């Protein structure tokens, strides 16, 4: 079995040129998961390893691992760790252990659809092999499924890059928000993957990266990735989006997504909606780039749960410097929802989707 897993993982070699940063690494021999602690970037590059799914859940909750696709991939390996940890002697007890792990991992962050998509996909695979009553076989099937989820994410990212790059012209100045790069995925990026691909194709581009209050994913992570690649960038605060579009310092925007429903309503990092408004008011295209694993097959935008986080994330800078009175009343939604009328197109690995979204997203999910 290990031979099969190793050969499955050796597929990664094919994408070496796109995988300069590996945020999540699975060791099939040791049955161990490692990830880069994104809270420490750009100051330190530290990998954390574990065989304990609870530590994976903790890493997602505390945002050592963040970004919807990365969360999905980590969740799938979390289930793999839970499977190998289980000492159950019957398939029924084994499935109970998996359900417990699924609950723990699912409770970490409510908005990223990839989290629930990956957990459900693992459980579907379990059901498809559980009739054989062989627990070891189910464990291997779970591990294989997690590796497939990781590989598919990498392939989707590269394909979104290839397709999305057609929307990027030479000399473009592209505004992006939060971090949607390698650090938010299994290794290449969604919106930042499009930018990266266009740069690899030799296009002269400049990225306008928003700092992304309050946790500064743009200033810390996106800028770190862009600098590593040598892609020209300018860092701005989130509140500068209006002047940036108006003055022509950016001529288009591309962002990622945590959850898209079939109507096209898109949940993404807080501030995205404001950027979409500023882009539209200034007649600049506003693109979303996300794999189909981020699309929830529902046409109800109200079904999107918006995570609200610790008020201290707003009161303090990165948990340290207090910038207001200690008990200031705070509202801290981690995401907002951009309505479809502000979205020019949605780039997926299955094609560039244009309005009307309800019809066209449905077709992409059920070809």
**# chain residues binding ligand MRU, by CB under 6 A:** 16
33 phi-psi bin (left φ>0, alpha ψ -120 to 50, beta other): beta
Q: Per the residue annotation, which of 258, 300, 310, 336 is the catalytic one?
A: 258
Smallest gap, in angstroms, from Cβ of residue 287 to ligand MRU?
Answer: 13
Q: Which of residues 341-360 bind ligand MRU (CB under 6 A)?
A: none
On whether the CB atoms of residues 207 and 224 are closer than 8 A, the answer is no
Smallest gap, in angstroms, from Cβ of residue 10 to ligand MRU?
Answer: 25
Backbone angles phi, psi at 132, to 5 degrees: -75, -5
Give the residue from 178, 195, 46 showing the smallest Cα distance to 112. Answer: 178
251 belongs to the binding site for ligand MRU (CB under 6 A): no
256 belongs to the binding site for ligand MRU (CB under 6 A): yes
- Please identify, using beta-carbon distances, which residue of 225 and 258 lies nearer to ligand MRU: 258
In Å, what is the CA distance from 271 to each residue of 55, 105, 233, 259, 276?
A: 30, 27, 19, 15, 9
By Cβ distance, which residue is nearest to ligand MRU?
A: 256
- Please identify, using beta-carbon distances, which residue of 81 and 183 lies nearer to ligand MRU: 183
Rounded Cα distance between 75 and 114, Å, is 9
Q: Which two three-digit tokens encode residue 165? A: 């790059």
Preceding peptide of 356 cis, ω within 30°: yes
244 belongs to the binding site for ligand MRU (CB under 6 A): no
Rounded Cα distance between 107 and 240, Å, is 34
Provide the mask over 59-88, with x wherever binding to ligand MRU is found by CB under 6 A and - wherever it is not: -------xxxx-------------------
269 belongs to the binding site for ligand MRU (CB under 6 A): yes
Preceding peptide of 42 cis, ω within 30°: yes
217 belongs to the binding site for ligand MRU (CB under 6 A): yes
Smallest gap, in angstroms, from Cβ of residue 73 to ligand MRU?
Answer: 11
Establish whether 37 is a catalytic residue: no
Q: Which of 86, 108, 156, 185 binds ligand MRU (CB under 6 A)?
A: 185
**Alpha helices for 232-311 (secondary structure H):** 241-246, 272-281
* Alpha carbon of residue 196 to chain centroid: 16
Provide the mask over 272-311, with x wherever binding to ligand MRU is found by CB under 6 A and - wherever it is not: ----------------------------------------
Q: Which of 73, 74, 184, 209 binds ligand MRU (CB under 6 A)?
A: 184
258 belongs to the binding site for ligand MRU (CB under 6 A): yes
Rounded Cα distance between 30 and 26, Å, is 9
Residues with a known catalytic role:
258
Contact set with ligand MRU (CB under 6 A): 66-69, 178, 180, 184-185, 190, 217, 256-258, 268-269, 334
């Amino acid at each position: 079995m290990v031979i099969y897993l190793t050969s499955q993982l050796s597929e990664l070699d094919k994408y070496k040129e796109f995988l300069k940063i590996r945020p999540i690494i699975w060791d099939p021999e040791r049955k161990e998961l490692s990830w880069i602690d994104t809270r420490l970037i750009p100051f330190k590059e530290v990998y954390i390893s574990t065989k304990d799914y609870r530590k994976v859940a903790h890493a997602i909750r505390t945002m050592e691992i963040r970004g919807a696709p990365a969360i999905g991939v980590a969740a799938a390996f979390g289930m793999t760790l839970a499977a190998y940890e289980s000492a159950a002697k019957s398939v029924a007890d084994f499935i109970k252990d998996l359900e417990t792990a699924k609950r723990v991992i699912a409770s970490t962050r409510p908005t990223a659809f990839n989290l629930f998509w990956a957990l459900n996909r693992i459980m579907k695979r379990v059901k498809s092999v559980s009739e054989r009553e062989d627990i070891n076989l189910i464990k291997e099937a779970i591990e294989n499924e997690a590796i497939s989820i990781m590989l598919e994410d990498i392939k989707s990212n590269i394909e979104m890059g290839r397709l999305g790059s057609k929307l990027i012209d030479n000399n473009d100045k592209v505004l992006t928000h939060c971090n949607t790069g390698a650090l938010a995925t299994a290794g290449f990026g969604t919106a930042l993957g499009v930018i990266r691909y266009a740069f690899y194709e030799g296009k002269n581009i400049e990225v306008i990266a928003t700092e992304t209050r309050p946790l500064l994913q743009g200033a810390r992570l996106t800028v770190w990735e862009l600098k590593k690649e040598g892609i020209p960038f300018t860092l701005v605060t989130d509140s500068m989006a209006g002047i940036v579009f108006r003055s022509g310092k950016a001529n288009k925007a591309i962002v990622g997504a945590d959850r898209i429903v079939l109507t096209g309503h898109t949940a993404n990092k807080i501030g995205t909606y404001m950027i979409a408004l500023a882009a539209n008011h200034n007649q600049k295209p506003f693109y979303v780039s996300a794999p189909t694993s981020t699309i929830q097959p529902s046409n109800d935008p109200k079904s999107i749960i918006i995570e609200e986080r610790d008020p201290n994330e707003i009161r303090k800078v990165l948990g340290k410097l207090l910038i207001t009175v200690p008990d200031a009343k705070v509202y801290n939604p981690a995401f907002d929802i951009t309505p479809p009328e502000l979205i020019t197109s949605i780039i997926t690995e299955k094609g560039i989707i244009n309005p009307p979204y309800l019809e066209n997203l449905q077709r992409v999910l059920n070809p």
